Copies of this chain bind each other. A is one copy, B any other.
């Protein structure tokens, strides 16, 4: 046994790069093999199938995302402050791992039923983290609207759209962008007299 996990990790990284830039379906196993300078059959030796590689990519990202979100909501903070921490954490994970995030959002439709169910379970878990926090805000009379799921979906839309336009080399830093987005979510667009 030479260095088995080393090459396996590099394979996941290369697949992430290619899947995110060309799309899962448009990326052939031969593309990945060429980028790794190895043969196709070797990839099958490691992952068994093309979908096995996709699942490895998704499982890695899911773990990172859920760990960070759970950590954020476990902090002992004022309701609004903790919600802001949840938002900024989510934005930071998605913003620093745009490739994994893109695959997670777009290519889960290409999974087999079992893989799709795993992906859905992660999405449900993220949703339940948000619903818990929204309930907490509502308990303190801080929520303007009680349609919690719609609020959550709106937030996911903003966060997940973020990756389509944010470029690290742009004029705003990631921190500035994240603050602006959190304010947008919490306060809305229109200027208010008490803000």
Q: How many copies does the complex hold?
A: 2
A2 near B: Cβ within 8 Å? Answer: no
Residues of B within 8 A of A180 (CB): 145, 147, 150
Contact A144–B183 (Cβ < 8 Å): yes
Is A188 on the interface with B (CB-CB < 8 A)? yes
Encoded as 1 (CB less than 8 Å from any B CB) or 0, chain A from 173 to 194 comes to: 0000100110111111111111
The stretch from A9-17, A112-120, A158-166 touching chain B is: A158-166
A-B contact pairs, 21 of them (CB 8 A): A23-B25, A141-B191, A142-B190, A143-B189, A143-B190, A144-B187, A145-B180, A145-B184, A147-B172, A151-B189, A153-B161, A153-B162, A157-B158, A157-B160, A157-B161, A158-B161, A185-B188, A187-B188, A187-B190, A192-B192, A193-B194
User: A145-B189, A154-B184, A190-B144 given as contacts; is B23 within 8 A of A26 (CB)?
Assistant: no
Contacts of A187 in B (CB 8 A): 144, 188, 190, 192
Is A80 among interface residues, defined by CB-CB distance under 8 A? yes
Interface secondary structure of A, over-half rule: helix
* A195 at interface by CB-CB < 8 Å: yes
Specify which chain B residues have a CB less than 8 angstroms from the CB of A172 in the assembled complex: 147, 150
Size class of the A contact interface (CB-based, 8 Å)? 35 or more
Report if A34 contacts B (CB, 8 A). no
